[in-house]
Amino acid sequence: MRIVVQKFGGTSLQTEELRKKAAQHVLHKVEEGFKPVVVVSAMGRKGSPYATDTLLSLVLNINKDIHPREKDLLLSCGELISATVMVQTLNNLGMQAATLTGAQAGIITDDKFGNCHVKKVIPFRIHKFLEKDIIPVVAGFQGINENGDITTLGRGGSDTTASVLAVALKAELIEIYSDVEGIMSANPKIVEKAHLLKHVSYDEAVELAYKGAEVIHPRAVEIASNESIPLVIRSTEDGNKGTMIHHIKIDSPVTGIINGNNICYVRIYPKKHGDYETGLKVFRILTEVSISVDFIDIKPEQITFIINTENKMVTENLLRGNRFNFELKNDYSKVSVVGSGMTGQPGIMVKIVEILNKNQITIHGCTDSHTTISCLVDKAQESKAVNALHAGFELE
């Protein structure tokens, strides 16, 4: 049995016309001899009647202190509505289809409401439908814990649903459909000559996603990578193009340039010069509330790092509550050079510094991994830095 998992994002389902195009992609796979398993997100984005943020606003307008269990139960409704509507759309094209909640699809999670991890998948009912040539349409982003409570998988949860189902079903391929045609060499809103990347490695896709390319969640790529299941990111409007994510040897050292300005720069002044216990304490406190930090720099006179802007308020309250002497700034951006071909390749950092220095762009800090080098620059110079690096590494 040749199985393909097809995931459709909320923007791919927000109008009747788009849902018909999505259904055509499913039909094409049936005609190619595949057994499709469809995963859907909630229809539309904030403001749309059944989008996740819209559903959440229904209760936040009453009481902002909603219990995590109740919140997950509410947020799971958007995907269920989307799945039921998609089933009717598929039926109109002559295909038999049936809706499944995450629980009915056999997705068992832990108890961390709002950001659950999948413990196991028991796809018994999915197999039963496939054996009868019925297309399962699974509500993404959700599962059930061992107490029988509905849970959600956090940001990018529908991507994760697609990958865990693909692994459990031993699928040949995962297709991710959205309103973008794939992964680009840089943000096309910033770099005019940015182009579609036809092939990227799993490692590159993970790094690109973590650093700001929001076309797929990195957890979904990691899950697929473990079982070597290729993923394709495509536009619902044009399914002929796209980016293939798989095991591939990359010849060029750099694949893409990613930027992100939703960061907050934190500077902490120890009470005593060279008091490294201050650093240990602040990182311990942030770890306890699952706030990750980057660009860590510990000096005798100060400790600096960055966090995501969404964690600014929590971090500020924690630092103030623990009487740290600190300041927060929002005027920096992170620009990252990504490429699995840079592993073991000398001179990449030198070239980055030369390119930015030549363009009079100040570097406030650097961090690197085996596939990524990131630089902290002034937010006002973000666009200039991205364009300079894109051109300097000849990605045009």
Burial label, 298 (beta-carbon count in 10 A; 0-12, 13-18, 19+): middle
Confidence (pLDDT) at 239: 66
**Can you say whether the dihedral through the CA atoms of 86, 92, 94, 96 is positive or negative?**
positive
Strongest mean pLDDT among 135-139, 267-271, 368-372:
135-139
Tokens 């393909």 found at: 4
Give φ, ψ of 214 to 5 degrees. -90, 35
Beta strands in 249-396 (DSSP E): 256-260, 263-269, 294-298, 303-308, 325-329, 332-338, 365-368, 372-378
Nearest to 197 by CA among 37, 48, 341, 294: 341
Q: Across the strands, what pairs with 365?
A: 376
Q: What is the pLDDT of residues 164-206, one digit of tens each?
A: 999 999 999 999 998 888 999 999 989 999 999 999 999 999 8
Q: Mean pLDDT across the stretch 32-57? A: 86
φ/ψ of 61, rounded to 5, equals -70, -20
Amino acid at 254: V
Instruction: Decide which of 14 and 272 is more confident.
Output: 14
Listed in sequence order, the residues at least 6 apart from 88 whose beta carbon sits closer than 8 Å to its beta carbon are none
> Three-state DSSP class for 79?
helix
**All structural domains of the chain with their residue ranges:** 3-179
Q: What is the pLDDT of residues 310-334, one digit of tens each?
A: 899 999 999 999 889 999 999 999 9
**Which residue from 123, 156, 150, 144 is spatially nearest to 42, judged by alpha carbons?**
156
Mean predicted confidence (pLDDT) in 251-258? 88
The length of the chain, given as a count of residues = 396
Distance CA 255, CA 119 (A): 34
From the list 176, 215, 199, the residue with the least C-alpha distance to 248 is 199
Distance CA 136, CA 126 (A): 6
CATH class name, domain 3-179: alpha beta
Average pLDDT of the residues in 31-45: 93
- Identify the three-state secondary structure at position 253: coil
DSSP 322: T
* Averaged pLDDT for residues 239-251: 84
Among 147, 145, 125, 148, CA closest to 137: 125
Whether pLDDT at 368 is above 90: no
The yes-or-no verdict on residue 274 having pLDDT over 80 is no
pLDDT digits (tens, 9 = 90+) for 107-140: 999 999 998 999 999 999 999 999 999 999 999 9
Residue 65 tokens read as 């202190």
DSSP conformational letter for 41: P
Angle of helix 382-392 relative to helix 348-358, nearest 10 degrees, comes to 130
pLDDT one-digit tens code per residue, 350-361? 999 999 999 999
77 has a pLDDT exceeding 80:
yes
| C-alpha pair distances (Å), 116 with each of 34, 173, 289 | 30, 24, 15
